[in-house]
Every structure is written in structure tokens, then in C-alpha cells.
Amino acid sequence: MKLYLVQHGEAVAKEVDPERPLSEQGRRDVQAMATLLAASGVRVERVWHSGKLRAQQTAQLLASKLLASGKVEAVDGIRPNDPVEAFIADADVWEQDTLVVGHLPFMSRLVSLLVMGDPQRDVVDYHPGSVACLERRDADTWMLAWMLRPDMLGTGADKA
């Protein structure tokens, strides 16, 4: 099983729009990421997001190219400061490749907990629109397979 953990794309500032939708650059970054992932053969059975507008928009853009069947769903427990332990309580029985779109620090802590067993150890350096792919080896073992950031795709984002 693969778990694709995504930080939402770049959003507009709260002062511009309190709902914080994706910026134009954020849309370009996520669309470029979706195109690359689809061309690489990435397909998922589920797409989950936090319910915040920027995460929902990111999830929909990615799902348009990667979701094999089903629908994009808002799920509880993946907001920025939610406890990661609660989210993965039933991860040992997940069977479907899943894409999860959320926020920092939650996404970083989730990768750290799954890979290192400690949500406080930094394992990855997320930037808006980044995707980390984890593979489950057995019920309790996850490995970081790869990570991509928009600045690696040549979309004009200069986040490094």
C-alpha cells in the first residue's frame, strides 16, 4: 500500500482572502505535480483532505488526474495541529493506495511518526505543494519511497 502525503499548494494571504484559496502559483504547482505523477503511473483509490479550502482545491486538482474511482472526501483529524496518532490508529488495516492533503505541522509529523516512530523528529522538508510517498512494508513498517517539491518541477516556484 502507498500513502501519498501532500501539503496543500501555495495559498493567498489571509489578508487577501480569509478563506485562503490557492494562489495562481499554487494552482500551477499542483497541476504540474498532478501531471507528472499521472505520467509516472501514480493512481490512488482514495483522496482525503482536511476540509480547509486550500486543501480541498489541492485534493481536487490532484484527484482529477490520479483518482482511479471514488470521490474526494473531507475527513476529520488532519487539521494543522491535530494529533497524528489518532489519524493512524487503524492504518495497519488500510489496503487502498491513498492520497491525503493537509497542512503543516500535521503532515510533517505524520511522516515522522510513520517512518521514525516519533512525530517530533524531522524527516522531510515540506514546501507548499510537496508530495511524500510512503510505502507500507508490513502492518507496522513504513518507508519513505520518495518526495517531490514544486521547485523541482520548473513551474516558476522558488521555494528552496
pLDDT for the residue 154:
78
Cβ(156)–Cβ(141) under 8 Å? no
Nearest-5° angle of CA 72, CA 77, CA 80? 95
Tell me the CB-side half-sphere exposure of residue 8, using CA atoms within 13 A. Answer: 27
Burial (CB count <10 Å: 0-12, 13-18, 19+), residue 98: middle
Using a cut of 0.85, tell me whether the model's pTM lies above it. yes
Distance between CA atoms of 44 and 49, rounded to whole angstroms? 14
- Span 91-142, pLDDT tens digits: 877 889 999 999 999 999 999 999 999 999 999 999 999 999 999 988 788 9
Distance between CA atoms of 133 and 155, rounded to whole angstroms? 21
- Span 29-38, pLDDT tens digits: 999 999 999 9
Q: State the average pLDDT over residues 78-94.
A: 88
Distance between CA atoms of 50 and 78, rounded to whole angstroms? 5
Give the count of beta carbons closer than 10 Å to the beta carbon of residue 144: 16
Give the count of beta carbons closer than 10 Å to the beta carbon of residue 26: 25
> What does the domain layout of the chain look like in residue ranges?
2-152
Distance between CA atoms of 139 and 148, rounded to whole angstroms? 25
pLDDT for the residue 159:
43
Cβ(115)–Cβ(143) under 8 Å? yes
- Span 9-68, pLDDT tens digits: 999 999 999 999 999 999 999 999 999 999 999 999 999 999 999 999 999 999 999 999
**Of 9, 29, 36, the residue nearest 104 (C-alpha):** 9
75 has a pLDDT exceeding 90: yes
Query: Homologous superfamily of 2-152 in CATH?
Result: Phosphoglycerate mutase-like (3.40.50.1240)
